[in-house]
Structure 1
Amino acid sequence: MQLKTKFVLMVGLVTFCSYGVTFYRTSSFQEDLVVEQATRQAKMLFHQIRLTRQWVADHNGLFFVKQPGVENNPFLKEGAIRDERGNWLVKRNPAMVTRELSVYAAREGMGQFNVTSLQPINPLNAPDDFERRALENFSQGTPETVAIEKIAGSYRLRYMAPLEVEQQCLSCHSGQGYEVGDIRGGMNVTIPMGPAFAEIRTNNRMLLNIAVATILIVSLTIYVLFDLLVARRLKLLAGAMDRYPQGSLSTRFSAMEDENDEIGTLSRHFENLCSRLERSRRELDETREQMFQSEKLAALGRLVAGISHEINNPLGGMHNCIQTMKKNTDNPELQERYLELLAQGVERIRSTVRQLLNIGRKEPLEIKCGDVDSMIRDCLELTCLGRRTIALELNLGVQKPVWVWMEALRQVMLNLAGNAVQAMGEKGGVLKVSSRVSGSDLVVEVGDSGPGIAPEHMDKIFEPFFTTKEVGEGTGLGLSVSYSLIRRMGGELSARNAEPSGAVFTLRVPLTDSRHETGEGGIS
């Protein structure tokens, strides 16, 4: 998943959570506020009805002319009286006034209210479950009870508070054993909450739409800005990293070099890093080339010390031939035969010197088309000159010119063959060398019959300056240089112990079909 996608998802998630918490708290706050306002309305209505009841009680009830719809109250002792004109007047006590006002309020869609008790006189005033629980709580000292109930598919707030017996109440309720201050029942006020909750749902939908639109707009804006200000510039920086070390440093970061933000700073730091790496690489290449040349000269010195008497032998024979020819100037046959011997000696010395020059000269490490088998024979001939105790077993199977790093392979072969000869010591032994083409690789194996490589040294033999030879007998760079050369060719150099004794070094380097130089004529 891309960084900008993760960033947008995280910002969207944080925004969603923030809006979710805000939405939940706002919705809860709206509901709490509506419930609180409805409760206040219910309390206000409760006190208005209570005051109305008190006024009715203070005036010993209300009397209405008896007519259809205005009937006697069967639960009052003096429910009707007759005036001087002969009209019957029916009495309305506070309970009936309360009930009839509630009917009017319900008809107008307003709150309803009714009076009830655990021992009602009128069965119509019997309490329901909510009212019964509230009355029981009043007996335990609870001052009021509020609840939200769903009745007939709509929500309603129900508020109930106790009604205490006052002096005026005893005119109707004295026979029931009440005293002033007793709780004779309670009045329940019901406020419809459907419209308020519908408004809350409307507000919630509006808030939800605003939240979704805000999250989408913020996410899209962040996505575009992140892609423009961060992702594209990081892609440019990543492209410059992928192309490194190709390209010019002056043009590599042209799109970001004038920016003063974090990515611009990172780009400048990377450019500085590339500059330091290129400078270090040049210094390393120079040091490596000096090390390679030093190792060449060291190998050349060891070879010269070993073959000096091989050159002196033909020189001594040539000197004797010349002396004899001087003494026998009149013998043509002897002159001809000795001239042939002189020519052979000169050719032998010239061949040896040519091989030494090939080793000692400094040439760029480049791919050439050449005879690998012939190069291996030259290296072995030089390495084994003067060592008659060394027997060669050659199995050279390339048998055709190939494109390889010829001079680099020459140095590797001299190092490996020289190490093999030194490992076998004065007693000598068998030096086995094989070559072949395997697929698109050149494979060369150099083995000896020496004591082999100690197991504890196997992981260290290719490290620079590691050597098991005595002081003055080796620099510890031969195998390290060979390993570095093979790796620079894109190949592998490995070592193992042979059975029953000795060591075998195997090198594998890729071949090409045509000339292919890397860098400026060297190995990259």
Structure 2
Amino acid sequence: MQLKTKFIIMIALITCCSYGVTFYRTSNFQEDLVVQQATRQAKMLFDQIKLTRQWVADHNGLFLVKEPGVEPNPFLPNAQIQDDEGNWLVKRNPAMVTRELSAYAAEKGMGQFNVTSLNPMNPKNVPDDFERVSLEQFNAGMIESISIEKAENSHRLRYMAPLEVDDRCLECHAVQGYKIGDIRGGMSVSIPIDWAYAEIRQNNRLLLNIAIATIIIVSLAIYFLFDLLVAKRLKLLARQMDSYPQKLPNGPNLDNLKDEIGSLNSNFHKLCDRLEQSQQELDKTREQVFQSEKQAALGRLVAGISHEINNPLGGMQNCIQTMKRSMDKPDLMERYMKLLGQGVERIKGTVQQLLNIGRKEPLEQIEGNVDEMLRDCLELTCVGRRNIELDMQLGIGRPLLVGMEALRQVVINLAGNAVQAMGETGGKLQVISNIIDQQLVISISDNGPGIAEGHLDKIFEPFFTTKEVGEGTGLGLSVSYSLIEQMDGELTAGNNSDGGAVFTISVPLQNKLETE
């Protein structure tokens, strides 16, 4: 998953969580606000009804003309009276006025209100569950009761407060044993609030739509801004990194940036400059080490070759002295002249081999006879070591286009190490060459003491050596490993099952000419 995708997902999740909390808190706040407003409305209506009741009580009730539907209250004394004109008037006390006003309000959808008590005189004033619980709480000292009820998919707020007995109430309730200050009951007010919940749902839908639109807009904006300001610049910087070191980074589009990516680009350029400088120094040092090791190898060879040259020189000197004494013997002169020619050819061949070793630079691809190069290197390495049994199984048999001089240096180093490992007692040096799966494979093994297990992973490290001080620099195998690696090959070391060390060189043959 791309970084910008992860970034957008995280921003979207954070935004969703933030809007979720906001949405939840806003919804609860709206509901609390609706309850508070409805409660204030219910209290106002309660106070209005209470004032109306007081007005009716102050005027000793209301008297209405008796007619169908306007019947006297059987629970009131003096429930009806007759005026001077003979009309019957029906009395309405505060409770009845309250009940009839509630019926009118219910028809208009404005709410309901009811006066009740735990011991009502009129069965119509029997309290419901909310009212009964509230009345019991009033007796315990509570001053008001509020509740939200839901019935048949409609919501209403129930508010109830106690009604205390005063001197105006004793006219009707004295017979019930009430005294001034007693709580004779309470009045409940019901306010429909479905409209409020409808508005809450509408507001919630609006908030949800705004949240979704905001999340989409913010995510798209962040996506494109991230792609423009970060992703594209990082891709450009990544392309520069991928092209290095084949192509030096230039980054013209990033050099003028003053932000973190510009700083990263600048630091990358500085790093590339340091790497280029270090690579130049490393190449220079490697060349110096290569030449030093090559000279050291040549020195070791010269020590053995001097014996090879001295032998024919001694024989040639004896021939010359004999010829001086036998100038009158043509047959003898002809014989010794032939021996002198053989000695000169032998010395010339030895010197030519030395010149072949030191005349070319490493890694130069030339076409040559690898088997012949191996044969020359091994003969030179074993010069003066008559106790070395040389077993050469050279199976290439045709010219190859390879880094001939680098291979020559590596073979001399490995063969020289094998000869030194076998010591004065000598032993068997075996060299096998072949082509396997388009790979030039050369194996050099001896029957010496082998390589200690603890040294196998260190022998190719620079300056690591098991030889005495002054006998080795610890660079031979390191240089050899580096040369083979530069040819995209592999140099490995191990031990034979029957004793001795074995080094295997594997170099790929890359073009058609090499594998035909």
Q: Take 2:118 and 2:336, find their aligned partners in 1: how far apart are those partners?
A: 153
Q: Take 1:414 and 1:359, find their aligned partners in 2: how far apart are those partners?
A: 9
- AA aligned to 1:465 is F
Equivalent residue, structure 1, for 2:288: 290
Q: Take 2:281 and 2:171, find their aligned partners in 1: how far apart are those partners?
A: 119
Equivalent residue, structure 1, for 2:213: 213
The CA deviation string for residues 272-301 of structure 1, in whole angstroms up to 9 with x for no partner, is 110110110011011011101100100100
2:345 is aligned with 1:355:
no
Q: Is the 8 A contact 2:445 2:500 kept in 1?
A: yes
Q: Take 1:106 and 1:366, find their aligned partners in 2: how far apart are those partners?
A: 109
Q: Is the 8 A contact 2:447 2:501 kept in 1?
A: yes
Q: Is the 8 A contact 1:367 1:515 kept in 2?
A: no
> Is 477-486 or 82-91 further displaced after alignment?
477-486
Q: Is the 8 A contact 1:404 1:512 kept in 2?
A: no
Percent identity, aligned pairs only? 69
1:25-424 matches, within 5 Å, as 25-249=25-249, 252-424=250-422
Cα deviation for residue 160 of structure 1 reads: 0.9
Equivalent residue, structure 1, for 2:499: 501
Q: Take 1:116 and 1:347, find their aligned partners in 2: how far apart are those partners?
A: 142
The CA deviation string for residues 178-218 of structure 1, in whole angstroms up to 9 with x for no partner, is 11111111111111111111111111111111111111111
Cα deviation for residue 230 of structure 1 reads: 0.8
Match of 1:168, SS?
Answer: coil
Cα deviation for residue 360 of structure 1 reads: 2.5
Q: Take 1:263 and 1:88, find their aligned partners in 2: how far apart are those partners?
A: 99
Match of 1:50, SS?
Answer: helix
- AA aligned to 2:81 is I
Find the partner of 1:490 among 485, 488, 491.
Answer: 488
Match of 1:435, SS?
Answer: strand
Q: Is the 8 A contact 2:362 2:406 kept in 1?
A: no
Equivalent residue, structure 2, for 1:437: 435
Q: Take 2:123 and 2:426, find their aligned partners in 1: how far apart are those partners?
A: 131
> Is 376-385 or 472-481 further displaced after alignment?
472-481
Q: Take 2:366 and 2:268, find their aligned partners in 1: how far apart are those partners?
A: 37
The CA deviation string for residues 150-202 of structure 1, in whole angstroms up to 9 with x for no partner, is 12221111111111111111110111111111111111111111111111111
Match of 2:169, SS?
Answer: helix
Equivalent residue, structure 2, for 1:521: none
Q: Which runs of 5+ in 1 are unaligned?
A: 517-524
Q: Is the 8 A contact 2:394 2:434 kept in 1?
A: yes
Q: Take 2:467 and 2:223, find their aligned partners in 1: how far apart are those partners?
A: 66
- AA aligned to 1:87 is N
Q: Measured at CA, do residues 62 and 238 of structure 1 come closer, stay the same or move farther in structure 2, by a change above 3 Å? A: same
Q: Take 1:359 and 1:297, find their aligned partners in 2: how far apart are those partners?
A: 10
Q: Take 1:457 and 1:153, find their aligned partners in 2: how far apart are those partners?
A: 87
Q: Take 1:230 and 1:317, find their aligned partners in 2: how far apart are those partners?
A: 83
Q: Which runs of 5+ in 2 are unaligned?
A: none
Q: Take 1:8 and 1:221, find their aligned partners in 2: how far apart are those partners?
A: 10
Q: Take 1:370 and 1:164, find their aligned partners in 2: how far apart are those partners?
A: 126
- AA aligned to 1:406 is M
Cα deviation for residue 362 of structure 1 reads: 4.8
> Is 108-117 or 313-322 further displaced after alignment?
313-322
Cα deviation for residue 514 of structure 1 reads: 5.3
Cα deviation for residue 304 of structure 1 reads: 0.5
Match of 1:161, SS?
Answer: strand
Q: Take 1:227 and 1:469, find their aligned partners in 2: how far apart are those partners?
A: 61
- AA aligned to 1:513 is N
Q: Take 2:169 and 2:314, find their aligned partners in 1: how far apart are those partners?
A: 157
Q: Is the 8 A contact 1:492 1:509 kept in 2?
A: yes
Match of 2:459, SS?
Answer: coil
- AA aligned to 1:154 is S
Cα deviation for residue 257 of structure 1 reads: 1.1
- AA aligned to 2:480 is S
The CA deviation string for residues 79-122 of structure 1, in whole angstroms up to 9 with x for no partner, is 11111111111010111000000111111110211111111111
Q: Measured at CA, do residues 15 and 106 of structure 1 come closer, stay the same or move farther in structure 2, by a change above 3 Å? A: same
Cα deviation for residue 501 of structure 1 reads: 2.0
Q: Is the 8 A contact 1:134 1:145 kept in 2?
A: yes
TM-score, scaled relative to structure 1: 0.95
Q: Take 2:196 and 2:184, find their aligned partners in 1: how far apart are those partners?
A: 33
2:23 is aligned with 1:23:
yes
Q: Is the 8 A contact 1:135 1:162 kept in 2?
A: yes
> Is 129-138 or 356-365 further displaced after alignment?
356-365
- AA aligned to 2:390 is L
Q: Is the 8 A contact 1:466 1:476 kept in 2?
A: yes
Cα deviation for residue 324 of structure 1 reads: 2.8
Q: Take 1:59 and 1:395, find their aligned partners in 2: how far apart are those partners?
A: 139
Q: Take 1:142 and 1:400, find their aligned partners in 2: how far apart are those partners?
A: 115
Q: Take 1:42 and 1:130, find their aligned partners in 2: how far apart are those partners?
A: 15
Match of 2:262, SS?
Answer: helix
Q: Take 2:52 and 2:236, find their aligned partners in 1: how far apart are those partners?
A: 84
What is the root-mean-square deviation of aligned Cα atoms in Å? 1.5
Cα deviation for residue 330 of structure 1 reads: 4.0
Cα deviation for residue 422 of structure 1 reads: 0.3
Q: Which runs of 4+ in 1 moved over 6 A?
A: none
Q: Take 2:335 and 2:167, find their aligned partners in 1: how far apart are those partners?
A: 167
Q: Measured at CA, do residues 515 and 246 of structure 1 come closer, stay the same or move farther in structure 2, by a change above 3 Å? A: farther
> Is 453-462 or 349-358 further displaced after alignment?
453-462
- AA aligned to 1:114 is N
Match of 2:168, SS?
Answer: helix
1:422-461 matches, within 5 Å, as 422-461=420-459
Cα deviation for residue 454 of structure 1 reads: 2.0
Q: Take 1:24 and 1:515, find their aligned partners in 2: how far apart are those partners?
A: 78
Q: Take 1:311 and 1:133, find their aligned partners in 2: how far apart are those partners?
A: 129
Cα deviation for residue 323 of structure 1 reads: 2.8
Cα deviation for residue 403 of structure 1 reads: 2.6
TM-score, scaled relative to structure 2: 0.97
Cα deviation for residue 245 of structure 1 reads: 0.5
Equivalent residue, structure 2, for 1:520: none
> Is 375-384 or 454-463 further displaced after alignment?
454-463
